[in-house]
Chain A
Amino acid sequence: ETGVTQTPRHLVMGMTNKKSLKCEQHLGHNAMYWYKQSAKKPLELMFVYNFKEQTENNSVPSRFSPECPNSSHLFLHLHTLQPEDSALYLCASSQDPTNIQYFGAGTRLSVL
C-alpha cells in the first residue's frame, strides 16, 4: 500500500457517458497529480494541484475535468470520451511538486 487509493480500479464506458475517477491520499501531502499511461508511451502528466490550486494543465482536452476539493482528494470527471482515451490513469501525491511522488494503483479505463 502506497497511501494513495484510486477508485474504481477498472471502468468501461461509452462515448456518451459521464463518469468520475477518485483519488485519495493518506500521506498528508500537499500536491496531487493525474497521469495518463498508454501502451508503449511515457507517463503523461495531465494536471497538478498544489494546496488545492491547479498549477499545471498540460493541454488536456476539456472532456477531462479535474476537481480538488481538499489536499487529500482529487477527482477526474470524464465526459464524452473518445476510444483513444482508453488508458491507465494514475494518481500521485507528494509533499510538494519538487518531491518524490507516490502513486496509486490506477484506474484502467476502456472507452467503447
Chain B
Amino acid sequence: EDKVVQSPLSLVVHEGDTVTLNCSYEVTNFRSLLWYKQEKKAPTFLFMLTSSGIEKKSGRLSSILDKKELFSILNITATQTGDSAIYLCAPPEGNQFYFGTGTSLTVIP
C-alpha cells in the first residue's frame, strides 16, 4: 500500500490561476513532510512542514500541514509558466523519505 498519495496526478491551468495540490500520507512516528519541485531533472526543495496549521510561505507558494487528517496542501497563486513542473511530497519514516508520484502541473500562457 502506498504511503504517500498525491492528487491530482496532473493539472493544466492558465497563467494567473490558483492551484491547490494535495498530499495524503501514512507513516509511523511522523516527524515532518517535505515538498519538492522537479522541473527537468533535480528535485529542488520547497518547504519542510513539522507542525499542524502553521502555514509556510515563499512568494506565491504556500503550504500547510494537517497532522490529524494526515495530509498537506501546496497552494500556488497567480501561476506563471515557470511554475510548470512536477511537485513531490515526501514524509520520512525511519531513515527513509517516501516520495509520492507527484502532481504534474502545466501552466499555459
Contacts and interface: CB of A to CB of B under 8 A. Distances in A.
Interface residues of A, number: 23
Interface in A40-80: 40-43, 45, 48, 50, 55-56, 58
Interface residues of B, number: 24
A101 interface: yes
Contacts of B100: 42
B42 A98 contact: no
B8 interface: no
A55 B42 contact: no
B19 interface: no
Contacts, number: 53
A40 B42 CA distance: 16
A42 B4 contact: yes
B99 A56 contact: no
A14 B34 CA distance: 37
Nearest to A104: B42
Given A88-B41, A104-B42, A98 B101 contact: no
A63 to B, nearest CB: 22
Interface of A: 2, 4, 40-43, 45, 48, 50, 55-56, 58, 88, 90, 97-98, 100-106
Top 4 closest A-B pairs, CB basis? A43-B99, A97-B95, A105-B41, A103-B42
Given A45-B96, A101-B97, A106-B41, 14 more contacts: A42-B4, A42-B98, A42-B101, A43-B43, A43-B88, A55-B95, A90-B43, A97-B96, A98-B32, A101-B34, A101-B45, A103-B43, A105-B41, A106-B42
